[in-house]
């Protein structure tokens, strides 16, 4: 058996793992990344990127279909639009291939070796890698970084297979299912459910909670709920799934009434869990936090020189969190003084319309005992929003009442995901309401609503 020695061994080539590898290479740290599939992990291959590609394609098709069905106020007319989902998926796969290939080139550029295969951890210094049809390789290291990511949660009474699919299969269908039942009204279920409704599926969403997107502020969710109603998505809230019988999904509502939903495909989107099994993690006997690995503010585990980042360490399971952690770990190993103490981690829900949150919501500030002020500015009063037919939604700011320190931002509307960077940066830099209110914002842009929200919190909004 071949034995390789390195300073840093990274198990998992997802966003956290490959960024850690690139940064290690930049800092002159010998590093190896072990990855069983293509570099980029869930995010690039079967998650963030391909789902946004499908959402975009569905939006474009839906616009054309709408223009064909009714007179457009923009003066656009279209005849008989159609979609070839196989070509759409091939286009999506092309984007994924370019991005994963780019990651591979970046790692190579920094001298990071990628070992393709499935890792099994033997101890805190040793990993064996088995590749299909190749001899097992043993890798010895000084530092072991665990970045195995997460996997879709499977319902024990409705396992994946046949008509029951996860988000992975939902992104690679060769045709549009006539009837799609989505189990779970979180961001994954609603993003993909909305996309398939726009592609022509009859979509029913089943959610055990009493409203959609239960993890988000109720005010932010209202425009999304209205959009789902306009699109004709059926919502079965406060309803439990009992199982699958033939081509029907059996459900029970809060009053105990049972019903059957006809389905060609059933998308189960009830969450994700850390990928902790099947690769020898138990051999390390690390301290755990539920299903996740417990880490400190430097992503150190309970074993010396063993680190863990990303989804493996629990919520929030976001690619950009993993990237930031991976970069930090590489710098700590290189001797730099770093801690993972972000003031805010933004989160985006790519529904229609989009939702973005960063920092504290009004209820979170109240729960923390902070005397806070809040103010919202509606997109119905924003010129740019009018020109892109995106007047549903608003921008909201939350700040301390005593010194106007900004604690959080929330927004819902067309294209608001692009406001995330500014929201997070203002919190990270310790900005006050006056800082944002006095910053000149380009006109006409959606960003003017950010300035107006700050002005409104100060009591003198200009355009409402």
Q: Is 187 annotated as a binding residue?
A: yes
Quote the CA–CA distance of 36 and 32 in Å, as a whole number: 13
Rounded alpha-carbon distances, angstroms, from residue 157 to 67, 180, 207, 235, 418? 42, 19, 16, 22, 39
Q: Is 460 part of the annotated catalytic residue set?
A: no
Where are the extended beta strands (E) located within 314-367? Answer: 347-349, 354-359
Of the candidates 264, 51, 86, 82, the one whose C-alpha atom is nearest the C-alpha of residue 174 is 86
Quote the CA–CA distance of 264 and 272 in Å, as a whole number: 23
C-beta of residue 419 within 8 angstroms of C-beta of residue 450:
yes
Of the candidates 7, 6, 23, the one whose C-alpha atom is nearest the C-alpha of residue 322 is 23
Q: What does the block give as tokens for 255? A: 């009053």
Annotated catalytic residue, options 62, 443, 460, 463: 443
Quote the CA–CA distance of 396 and 374 in Å, as a whole number: 7
Q: Is 105 annotated as a binding residue?
A: no
Q: Is 319 annotated as a binding residue?
A: yes
Pairing type for strands 347-349 and 306-308 reads unpaired
> Three-state SS for 373?
strand
Contacts of 350 (CB under 8 A, 6+ apart): 51, 52, 55, 187, 191, 417
Axis-axis angle for helices 15-26, 319-333 (nearest 10): 30
Q: Is 190 annotated as a binding residue?
A: yes
Q: Is 228 annotated as a binding residue?
A: no
Q: Is 207 annotated as a binding residue?
A: yes
Residue 28: exposure state from Cβ atoms within 10 A (0-12, 13-18, ≥19): exposed
Q: What does the block give as tokens for 180? A: 């799609």
Q: Is 332 annotated as a binding residue?
A: no
Q: Is 327 annotated as a binding residue?
A: no
Name the binding residues for NAD(+).
184-191, 207, 271
Which residue ranges make up the annotated binding site for FAD? 52, 311, 317-320
**Which residues are identified as catalytic?**
443
Question: Which residues contribute to the annotated binding site?
Answer: 52, 184-191, 207, 271, 311, 317-320
């Amino acid at each position: 058996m071949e034995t390789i020695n390195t300073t840093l061994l990274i198990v998992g080539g997802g966003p956290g793992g490959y960024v850690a590898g690139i940064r290690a290479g930049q800092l002159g740290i010998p590093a190896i990344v072990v990855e069983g599939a293509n570099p980029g992990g869930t995010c690039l291959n079967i998650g963030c990127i391909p789902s946004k590609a499908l959402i975009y394609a569905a939006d474009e098709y839906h616009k054309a279909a709408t223009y064909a069905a009714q007179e457009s106020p923009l003066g656009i007319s279209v005849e008989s639009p159609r979609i070839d989902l196989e070509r759409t998926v091939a286009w999506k796969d092309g984007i994924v291939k370019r991005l994963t290939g780019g990651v591979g080139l970046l790692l190579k550029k920094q001298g990071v070796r990628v070992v393709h295969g499935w890792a099994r951890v033997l101890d805190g210094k040793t990993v064996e890698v088995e590749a299909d049809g190749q001899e097992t390789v043993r890798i010895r290291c000084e530092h072991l970084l665990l970045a195995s990511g997460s996997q879709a949660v499977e319902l024990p009474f409705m396992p994946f297979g046949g008509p029951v699919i996860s988000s992975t299969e939902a992104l690679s269908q060769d045709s549009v299912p006539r009837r799609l039942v989505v189990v779970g009204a979180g961001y994954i279920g609603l993003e993909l459910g909305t996309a398939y409704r726009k592609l022509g599926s009859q979509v029913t969403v089943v959610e055990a909670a009493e409203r959609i997107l239960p993890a988000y502020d109720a005010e932010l969710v209202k425009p999304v709920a209205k959009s789902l109603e306009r699109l004709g998505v059926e919502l079965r809230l406060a309803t439990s799934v009992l199982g699958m019988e033939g081509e029907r999904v059996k459900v029970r509502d809060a009053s105990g009434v049972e019903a059957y939903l006809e389905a060609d495909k059933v998308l189960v989107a009830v969450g994700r869990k850390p990928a902790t099994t099947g690769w020898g993690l138990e051999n390390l006997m690390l301290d755990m936090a539920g299903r996740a690995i417990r880490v400190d503010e430097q992503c150190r585990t309970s074993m010396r020189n063993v680190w863990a980042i990303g989804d493996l360490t629990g919520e929030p399971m976001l690619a950009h969190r993993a990237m930031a952690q991976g970069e930090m770990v590489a710098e700590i190993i290189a001797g730099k003084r770093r801690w993972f103490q972000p003031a805010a981690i933004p989160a985006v829900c790519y529904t229609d319309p989009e939702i973005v949150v960063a920092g504290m919501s009004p209820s979170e500030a109240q729960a923390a005992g902070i005397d806070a002020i809040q103010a919202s500015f509606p997109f119905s009063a924003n010129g740019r929003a009018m020109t892109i037919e995106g007047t549903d939604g608003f921008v909201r700011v939350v700040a301390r009442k005593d010194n106007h320190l900004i604690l959080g931002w929330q927004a819902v509307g067309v294209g608001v995901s692009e406001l995330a960077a500014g929201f997070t940066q203002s919190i990270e830099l310790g900005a006050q309401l006056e800082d944002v209110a006095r910053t000149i914002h380009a006109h006409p842009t959606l960003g003017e609503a950010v300035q107006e929200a700050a002005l409104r919190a100060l009591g003198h909004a200009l355009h409402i």
